[in-house]
Structure 1
């Protein structure tokens, strides 16, 4: 049987894109499978396409438990609204400098984009969120992944490089999802957080959505496939 990692994703900002465009970088309200695999690859120092590694993880289970602050009734407080961050990309570069010129957005003909190459973009973030991720891993990868998460090759982020975790991400390896969930509940209790909703892989009782977040290939030409997940809010 393949064991489960318990990953604790907590920080002031998180962003888990799944269908983003250059000018508008959306986020789902929960971590994506591609985002979690990105964390593992960063820890391992695994760059490039990594098609063989991704294939090992593609069909394995992933469960997400979203926690919120307790209100005066001991219930999960309402989620904070998403933060929209405004960016101007490509402005202020000197086009006479070869390196800086490469950073200016271009049209398909290689000319400067409208507005001198500057582009207005919007990026969205989750605020003050906490997630426990139960991530099933191949038994043969267990020791290497556990060690890498505790001694990462590259810095670990919560979706984007400006999303810094405020708690250790790695919280242990467990033989079953039930054991991992029990450990997550104890950690949440210690932090005075309560369960707000869960996301399970596959169809079940709750809101069923399709997300395009199973990575098939990383690198310059990224490829993904769909999976269905069920979102169940706590009463």
Structure 2
């Protein structure tokens, strides 16, 4: 048996950032490690420039996701003002950019993607190097220091995260816990109201059999979502494992 901290994420809009090049700002279908670390950090009151507490949080937890619904994709069109490149001039912050002389300001076009009405379950456990406790994290999620949001500040949660600690024999058991329905009187009504798909996606770290002891049907890939330096937005790689399961089999 292992103790997990389990909570859910739901919002009309969420954006789980992926590698962004040029004017396109895509979103993944479910939150990665960096997004969950950022959410926990906001709840704890860890500031972006606090390298030591960022490291402490990053090294303390393992994370897994159950995607009950990816939601639908929405693309938002933007115009953004940025200063033109100038030799020997460095803009270190957005404030610096907006303070540049108007004559050197250019306008670029961009698009930002969001997931609408997505629903995810998150399970967190402690690593052998942990300097935090699940009790600390649970308390922080119930009374967060900073406002929580799902990827961007325009995406606050639309339902209680309902965090709880409980011991389970397997990681999948933790991810399959039931929460009070977001709408309707029971899980079936919630499924119909939110148009939940016929399959769910499990994503986790560790090894291929960490979900339930069975490596069958598991795929893996290298993802770059391990926060290394939040001030510089630097991320490192990790191995992520995934399995797609029909909803009637997801517990």
Distance (Å, rounded) in 2 between the aligned partners of 1:154 and 1:184: 27
Runs of 4+ in 1 over 4 A off after TM superposition: 110-116, 185-189
* Aligned ranges 1:86-235 → 2 under 5 Å: 86-90=77-81, 104-109=82-87, 110=89, 116-137=105-126, 138=130, 140-176=132-168, 177=171, 180-184=174-178, 190=187, 192-193=190-191, 196-201=200-205, 202-203=207-208, 204=215, 205-218=217-230, 220-235=231-246
Q: Is contact 1:58-1:215 (8 Å) kept?
A: no
Distance (Å, rounded) in 2 between the aligned partners of 1:40 and 1:146: 9
2:174 alignment partner, SS class: helix
1:37–1:55 CA distance, 2 compared to 1 (3 A): same
Match of 1:27 in 2: 27
Per-residue deviation, 1:186: 7.2
Report the more deviating stretch, 151-160 or 53-62: 53-62
1:49 alignment partner, SS class: coil
1:37–1:2 CA distance, 2 compared to 1 (3 A): farther
Distance (Å, rounded) in 2 between the aligned partners of 1:186 and 1:65: 16
1:166 alignment partner, SS class: coil
TM-score calculated relative to the size of structure 2 = 0.71
What do the CA deviations read for 1:56-77 (whole angstroms, capped 9, x no partner)?
A: 4347432111113xxxxxxxxx
1:80–1:35 CA distance, 2 compared to 1 (3 A): closer
- The answer for unaligned runs of 5 or more in structure 1 is 69-78, 91-103
Q: Is contact 1:42-1:155 (8 Å) kept?
A: yes
Q: Is contact 1:39-1:156 (8 Å) kept?
A: yes
1:136–1:49 CA distance, 2 compared to 1 (3 A): farther
- Work out which structure has the larger RCO, using CA pairs closer than 8 Å and 6 or more positions apart in sequence: 1
Figure out how many residues of one structure are paired with residues of the other and give that number: 211
Distance (Å, rounded) in 2 between the aligned partners of 1:112 and 1:207: 51
TM-score calculated relative to the size of structure 1 = 0.76
Per-residue deviation, 1:42: 0.9
Match of 1:94 in 2: none
Match of 1:11 in 2: 11
Distance (Å, rounded) in 1 between the aligned partners of 2:101 and 2:76: 24
2:74 aligns with one of 83, 89, 100: 83
1:199–1:114 CA distance, 2 compared to 1 (3 A): farther
Distance (Å, rounded) in 1 between the aligned partners of 2:31 and 2:61: 16
1:48 alignment partner, SS class: coil
Q: Is contact 1:87-1:120 (8 Å) kept?
A: yes
Distance (Å, rounded) in 2 between the aligned partners of 1:186 and 1:14: 21
Q: Is contact 1:43-1:148 (8 Å) kept?
A: yes
